[in-house]
Structure 1
């Protein structure tokens, strides 16, 4: 039906003024000029990092640790600065994607075909006109989707592509952008992924290797996303988005030496959400923003070999979320802006489990914020109030919470290229529904986790003349102190959860980036990011685990990305290193099975952007894990060795 309407829309366009195109040949520093630490990748850079999904793209950021169960369909979550995935908010076009059941967003399910940019903010976004919910996390991953940019002369754009590769991967996708009038436009994206998920791996017993094959990991996903946009002449903007995601995944069991992994476990997801947003600004400095969202998520887990009286485990969960937000910002003076935002979120969950609690959680968030500039000095502060009430059908639940969370941010520009910055942020998170009510690990006595973040850093960003176009240096040193930290020791679907009284983290993020001319038409780029994370259990000096590194937190992370391009061709090399990690608090290296060894991964990508019969085309080839490194990210879930991926895309 949509394709049938395309000729009509093409003929119905109104004339617009045509602007002369200007091509800027000199590359510019892309670091965000943010008073809080920020890192960004845009759509043209994803291929440089051999990224297939959002989780892959985030691996190149400082301070980011991706927890990956392996394969095309394996769960992929992100922890920033050792605080855990539950302290990281994920925003899609400014509205949070949430999961009250487990609190962690699977970033592996977000395809990059409709993503314009990915930005990571430590602390929070420097913009004051954001929902109150965006102030309520230790870090924010902001995913901005592609917006239609069309004219009356070319009122539509259709992009088709196919990605294929190892593990039986086939991923066709389609994007249709359409201009309806001067003010209205829409975009529709659809993609499907199919893979058998098979790959060989090695298990190690300290002196011997045994080869195994990952089976029962086939994945089939379908996703449809549509968005309608309005841009008024009076600066008003409106958008409405609907999204549906379906996944059918096999979950192979843990890999044990000489023991074939258990097969047959499956996981089905059916997720739907609809969201809308409105923004308007006036010449007097007033800005408003309204957002609303409804989300419905269904999860079905089957283990046909579970050892219970039935001989199998069949569990189904459904979540509903209702969300509304209003925000206003006003310029009191040219150098002083204030804002207020209020959000309400209602989350509920049902399940087919006996004696399930059927929880409903209502959260009301209010925040006031201020941003003041005086010459080279900027001071920003916010105070968030979180009021949370929870009810269950039977039994006990957590008590009512009313918490105030302050944030203070300051920056000082010593000179044009050099800026100093610092922030303090207090934040907390309540246990998720799974942590509280899942029948195997029910623990309604879990306490909320409170985190205090301290950060001091510097940014040097200077444009250059000569061989190099610019150089960007960033350094941030941070200290995190957490009370009643919630520790979750993972399994493929369930695990153990408990509080530890105190934890602290001391770390540093260092980055350098530059681009330049290599001679002739060749251009080069190099970006290096290094992170040091010392995340410790400091609950009791008398215990053997005192000052031990927290589970699944490497002390050292390094990412090096380098490439060269010429006339539409680009060749890029990406190297990632992670130091050893522990899967529990014991921190023992006495035997091979007590820690996860360090590993280094290398990826290579080749891309060509050109024309075929006057139509823009993009071709790429990627080799992941070039040197066939044998490694694990989550204990007993081996990652794939060398793999390949090719893609073709054409735009009409």
Structure 2
């Protein structure tokens, strides 16, 4: 593959006589005018090193979804979008709203950090974020960084980090938009938003966006042999709102506030209890923040973020309140960036995090974390270097140090080799420590170190291609281990334990670009996630993953499709079969303001399981009518 790409690259960038080039270009334009496409090289990310960088300059593999990408994907929520990323698996026990877990490069959900506008939204009890509660309506862009990121963000970033940015206003008069969707399972989805500037100069901008989703759902569990009636369908209802107000005081200084909340209720048929039990959960994810960003001089940029987030889970069993978990994260982040030379930047800062948990099943718990971090990035001709180091101190555990060392070498303007070595850690969640008949107060934090090497090619003609090989080794990995029969009782079958050593090795190949006007994203991942202590595969990690997403503009139509493939996985001692799922979507612009869209999920009605004993969604069809002010 690399040889073919190098040959195509030489042909695409070969020297040509200027006059001949102009003649060929004139002939092509006369026959078929070519629409101007946004260049691949112009994309910008801000997560791979906590600095704003063009995508081609990042060393850590980073996947970017802008608003156009999210619309063209046809995805409704974050769990439906993320499987397009190389090495990502999302397992969901049912339809929208059902519990969803993210596996990134073999790392579990609690080992991948999720941030909304730079604010942590993970539950202190579970150690992971409520992905199923995160609809895409309020999001401007999403960036996924693969690989150890603790040197940048601290605990829970062993597998990587998912950065979500809510919508912002623009420097134009306020504009309104809305849409309404109906479809399978009695689904109703409405969205309305307004964004723009409050003054003629465009110094004060705002965004306000709200959405509502209601669906009757489907029966996710099969009827058991002794069960008289089939399990009922459990619905999902959620309302989300996002708002942002920002003011630029001078060309160098701006400040603003952000608020996001998604709150809803979902029913579920749990794997334990009586078949007739009715389980209802009320979930909420909320963030609120104040930020200031500006320059203290020509070379010194500083920013301050004060934020609070809340993750809440309330549960009812057969109409009787059962239990609750409510996490409050209070966060302060102060970051500075010094531009020493055009290609030489120094970053340093301080972060404080206070986590408080109010839980009904065990005593309330809290902890404080203090962190200092620094990073240095420099370009020396064809060479690129990046160093990051971070020191985290927790009131529960000893000091943890993590670092990242990355190197890149550009063979020419299009080809680059990268390599990195990094360390990461994760502190146990409060459930790991204290949950009745499961928690283990003697647990130690997980730690890991990772090595990675890759080669990539980036050009406007051939898009972006990357081939990566990686290995992550874990020490003190926390897993649920069965208790020996002699020690167990009817209530205690599993306990959280540090199992010793584990290893994930993998190979990723990704490409995105354009072919004859069709925009394509694709990836193939081969990996092995092994519990070295017990000589077995880690649960729910497939050895092979692949995806192909294509979208094309045909006049007033935008059509697209997504194919997802997963190999076999083990789950609770059961081997789950591999699967391939096809989704289609289309959008028609009725006028400059009105549009009609449709999408089909699981086109071939593939009967498969993402979680043992829970069926994935059957074939579903949805229709949308929308309007946007021009």
Q: TM-score, normalised by structure 2?
A: 0.85
Q: 1:360 aligns with which of 343, 366, 378?
A: 366
CA 1:333–1:270: 2 relative to 1, 3 Å: closer
In the other structure, the counterpart of 2:343 is 335
Deviation at 1:49, TM superposition (A): 2.9
**Cα 1:232–1:422 shift into 2, 3 Å:** farther
When residues 266 and 630 of structure 1 are mapped into structure 2, their CA distance, relative to the original with a 3 A threshold, is: same
Say yes or no: does 1:536 pair with 2:530: yes
What is residue 482 of structure 1 aligned with on the other side?
A: 474
Q: CA deviation at 1:576?
A: 0.7
Q: CA deviation at 1:460?
A: 0.6
User: 2-side partners of 1:132 and 1:253: how far apart?
Assistant: 34
Deviations 1:174-203 (A, max 9, x none): 111142123112111111111111247767
Match of 1:577 in 2: 565
Q: Bigger CA drift: 108-117 or 454-463?
A: 108-117
Cα offset, 1:498, TM superposition: 2.8
Q: Which structure 1 residue ranges, 5 or more long, are not aligned?
A: 1-22, 306-311, 391-399, 465-469, 518-522, 540-544, 587-593
- In the TM superposition, 1:21-36 aligns within 5 A as 25-29=36-40, 32-33=55-56, 34-36=58-60
Matched, 1:403 2:400: yes
Which whole-Å CA distance do the structure 1 matches of 2:183 and 2:339 have between them? 52
Alignment of 1:161-180 (within 5 A): 161-180=179-198
SS at match of 2:583: strand
Matching of residue 557 in structure 1 with residue 561 in structure 2:
no
1:112–1:550 CA distance, 2 compared to 1 (3 A): same
Change (3 A) 1:534 1:125: closer
| Greater mean deviation of Cα atoms: 411-420 or 103-112 | 103-112
Paired position in structure 2 for 1:3: none
What CA deviation, in whole Å up to 9, does each residue of 1:354-394 have, x standing for no partner?
xx23211101111111112111111111111010003xxxx
Counterpart check, 1:445 vs 2:465: no
| Alignment equivalent of 1:39, drawn from 58, 63, 80 | 63
Q: Distance in 1 between matches of 2:292 and 2:229?
A: 53
Is 1:436 aligned to 2:426, yes or no? Answer: no
Cα distance, 1:290 vs structure 2: 0.4
Q: Distance in 2 between the 1:618 and 1:377 partners?
A: 48
Question: In structure 2, what is the Cα distance between the partners aligned to 1:196 and 1:324?
Answer: 40
Q: Residues of 1 paired with 2:156 and 2:301: CA distance?
A: 18
Report if aligned partners of 1:132, 1:325 keep a CA contact under 8 Å in 2.
Answer: no
Q: State the alpha-carbon separation in 2 of the partners of residues 524 and 108 from structure 1.
A: 30
Matched, 1:139 2:160: yes
- Matched positions, count: 570
Give the conservation status (yes or no) of the 8 Å contact 1:583–1:635: yes
By how many angstroms is 1:489 displaced? 8.3
| 1:643 aligned to which of 620, 623, 626 | 620
- Is the Cα–Cα contact under 8 Å of residues 202 and 212 in structure 1 kept in the other structure? no
Take 1:608 and 1:549, find their aligned partners in 2: how far apart are those partners? 46
Alignment-derived partner of residue 332 in structure 2:
324
Shift of 1:404: 1.0
Q: Which residue of 2 aligns with 1:92?
A: 116
Out of 589, 602, 617, the position equivalent to 1:609 is 589
Aligned-pair CA distance for 1:568: 2.8
Match of 1:114 among 128, 138, 147: 138
* Equivalence map 1:307-322=2 (5 Å): 314-322=322-330
Q: Which runs of 5+ in 2 are unaligned?
A: 1-33, 44-54, 483-492
Alignment partner, residue 291 of structure 2: 277
Match of 1:10 in 2: none
Per-residue Cα deviation, 1:323-361 (whole angstroms, up to 9, x for no partner): 1111111123333221211111111112233xx232111
SS at the partner of 1:434?
helix
SS in 2 for 1:111: coil
Q: 2:392 aligns with which of 382, 386, 410?
A: 386
Shift of 1:479: 0.4
Tell me how far apart the structure 1 counterparts of residues 123 and 117 of structure 2 sit (CA, whole Å): 17
Distance in 2 (alpha carbons) for counterparts of 1:108 and 1:121:
20
Separation in 2, partners of 1:147, 1:495: 46
Q: 1:55 — aligned with what?
A: 79
Indicate if the aligned counterparts of 2:181 and 2:625 stay in contact, CA closer than 8 A.
Answer: yes
Mark the CA change 1:93 to 1:297 in structure 2 (over 3 Å): closer, same or farther.
Answer: closer
The question of whether the paired residues in 2 share the 8 Å contact of 1:339 and 1:370 is answered with yes
1:57 partner SS: helix
Contact 2:133 2:263 in 1 (8 A): no
Q: Determine helix, strand or coil for the equivalent of 1:528.
A: strand
- Once the two structures are superposed, residues 99-132 of structure 1 have per-residue CA deviations (whole angstroms, 9 ceiling, x without a partner) of 2121111222222222222111124789x9xx75
**Mapped partners of 1:132, 1:581: distance in 2:** 30
Mean Cα deviation higher: 372-381 or 279-288: 279-288
Aligned counterparts of 1:125 and 1:359: Cα–Cα separation in 2: 26
| Separation of aligned partners in 1, 2:495 and 2:391 | 30
TM-score normalized by the length of structure 1: 0.82
**How many Å apart are 1:261 and its aligned residue?**
4.5
Find the residue that maps to 1:401 and give its secondary structure: coil
Distance in 2 separating the partners of 1:89 and 1:132: 8
1:192 aligned to which of 190, 200, 212: 212
- Distance in 2, matches of 1:489 and 1:275, equals 39
The residue aligned with 1:290 is 304
Please give the alpha-carbon distance, in whole angstroms, between the structure 2 residues aligned to 1:272 and 1:474.
36
Tell me, yes or no, if structure 1 residue 568 matches structure 2 residue 556: yes
Helix, strand or coil at the partner of 1:415: coil
State whether residues 529 and 558 of structure 1, in contact with CA within 8 Å, keep that contact through their aligned partners in structure 2: yes
CA drift of 1:77 comes to 2.5
Deviates more, 1:135-144 or 1:51-60: 135-144
Alignment of 1:465-480 (within 5 A): 470-480=462-472
1:65 match? 89
| CA contact 1:134–1:140 (8 Å) conserved in 2 | no
Q: Distance in 2 between matches of 1:214 and 1:495?
A: 27
Q: What SS does the corresponding residue of 1:253 show, helix, strand or coil?
A: coil
Asked whether 1:245 is paired with 2:239, we answer: no
Partner in structure 1 of residue 174 of structure 2? 156
Residues 105-160 of structure 1: CA deviation (Å, up to 9, x unaligned): 1222222222222111124789x9xx755995541111122221132xxx111111
**How far is the alpha carbon of 1:298 from its aligned partner?**
3.1
Contact persistence 1:158–1:175 (CA under 8 A): yes
Q: Is the 8 A contact 1:163 1:646 kept in 2?
A: yes
